[in-house]
Structure 1
Amino acid sequence: MASEVYTPTTAPNPKTSWLQVPSERLDARRFVVKVCEVIFSFVAFILEEVVSSCSSCFALYFFEFVSCTAFLFTLLLLVLLATALHARVGVTCWRDLDFWYTSLIALLFFVSSIIFAVNNNGTDLEKSSVAFGFLAMSAFLVDLLLFYKTSGLPFQKSGGDPPAEGGAQLETEKLNSVVNTTE
């Protein structure tokens, strides 16, 4: 008897999936690009870590910092944007955060890859690490391009055209006429 009462009223919740792609924060193409960013950053970091000696350690350490930071923070951003965890963090400007973070990491990868390409011992590990640095930078640039195509720039107003002169006055007059006719 009890199963007859409760069975028809229980329905599965379709939003219980842990992965929410595509969503308003991250579409499927950008998800794939972000996964590539994580992989390229990780490979660049691992290859750089295997380098045993350096002629200019500043270049090596700067590249290490950028590749490790890009790997860890992009992985974190990917998990937050692709799951429901973003709601628990308390950040409301995900669009701005994603754009500015991706821009900054692309710039840092560009600078650190050039510095490391110029100041290294010329070993195959260093060359491979630099190549993956440029691949990661390219992935971040593709992500920015896709972001621009789907969302536009975050500092542009997306509210449409501004109201014409006297638009607020016309709206007030319309509201007043509706109130006056109902009295």
Structure 2
Amino acid sequence: MRNTEETEGFDGEASNTSMISGASSPYQPTTEPVHSRNVLGGIRCDMEYLKSHFGILKAVEVALALIAFICIETITNCSPCGAIYLFEFVSCSALIVTGVLLLIFSLNLHTKVPHVNWSLTDLINTAVSTLFFFVASVVLAAINHKTGSEIAALIFGFLVMCVYGVNAFLALRRWRMGDAHSGPLQTNEYIRARTASRGEVEARPELQ
């Protein structure tokens, strides 16, 4: 009986000791999940941006560039093909770059990299896309075979060029104003994220 009691006593002491050591251990299992929740929690769909002028213009640019790319891809015979290849490259590049920017802005991923001037990035993209679509559409208008696909691609090329032009004008005005709307918002969100992170570390001194 005594051996049993002693064994139970040792077991109880061992259990208490393991609980105490587990509580004071610096390797807490909640360290990584907390960090993961903070990272995933910052990714959300920004409906206000999608409803704004810039969000609507971005969506229209992606749609028109996609239609123009599909129209130019349906052309099977061409001679010469330089104008078609140029238009194909411009429409595909604009579709990819603008689509990525739309995804970044609509999910607030740009707030994760506050050191990048996103207003200037948007301005450069829209200005370059406007110029490239203008050149590609003019060349395609000068060198084409009057087919339905070429005419459709030409129409959508000039349409998306106009939309990019409007977006470039608005982006230039926002950039000249010093990004009064997006800049403070990005900075404030970045400061709040850093403050929350520091608060968690101070509340848990074993992580320091």
TM-score exceeds 0.5 = yes
Can you give the 5+ residue segments of structure 1 that lack an aligned partner in the other structure?
1-14, 160-183
Counterparts of 1:83 and 1:22, CA distance in 2: 11
Q: Is this contact kept in 1: 2:122–2:171, CA < 8 A?
A: no
Indicate whether 1:93 and 2:117 are aligned: yes
Under a length normalisation based on structure 2, what TM-score does the superposition of the two structures give?
0.61
Where in structure 2 are the equivalents of 1:49-60 lying within 5 Å?
Answer: 49-60=73-84
Shift in alpha-carbon separation, 1:129–1:143, aligned structure 2, 3 A: same
CA RMSD of aligned residues (A): 2.6
Could you tell me how far apart the structure 1 residues matched to 2:147 and 2:134 are? 20
Checking the alignment, whether the CA contact within 8 Å between 1:55 and 1:119 is kept in structure 2 is no
Deviations along 1:34-88, one digit per CA (max 9) or x if unpaired, are 1000000000000000011112211100100000001111000111112122234
Q: 2:94 aligns with which of 70, 73, 91?
A: 70
Distance in structure 1 (CA, Å) of the matches to 2:149 and 2:59: 23
Return the letter of the residue paired with 2:142.
V
Residue 140 of structure 1 deviates from its aligned partner by: 0.3
Cα distance in 1 between the residues matched to 2:55 and 2:100: 13
Structure 2 segments unaligned to the other structure (5+ residues): 1-40, 181-208
The one of the two structures with greater contact order (alpha-carbon pairs below 8 A, sep at least 6) is 1
Q: Is the 8 A contact 2:120 2:175 kept in 1?
A: no
Task: Select the structure that is richer in helix.
Answer: 2
Per-residue CA deviation, residues 122-181 of structure 1 (Å, 9 max, x unaligned), is 1011000010001110110111222244x143xx8789xxxxxxxxxxxxxxxxxxxxxx
Given that 1:21 and 1:31 are in contact with CA atoms closer than 8 Å, whether structure 2 keeps it comes out as no
Q: Take 1:136 and 1:32, find their aligned partners in 2: how far apart are those partners?
A: 13
Larger Rg: 2
CA distance in 1 between counterparts of 2:122 and 2:144 reads: 32
Paired residues of 1:37 and 1:140 also in contact (CA < 8 A): yes
How many percent of aligned residue pairs carry the same amino acid? Answer: 32
Task: Please list, as runs of the form range in 1=range in 2, the aligned pairs for 1:1-183 lying within 5 A after superposition.
Answer: 18-22=44-48, 28-88=52-112, 92-149=116-173, 151-153=174-176
Instruction: Provide the rounded CA distance (Å) in 1 between the counterparts of 2:74 and 2:106.
Output: 32
The runs of 4+ residues in structure 1 deviating greater than 6 Å are 156-159
Q: Is the 8 A contact 2:58 2:98 kept in 1?
A: yes
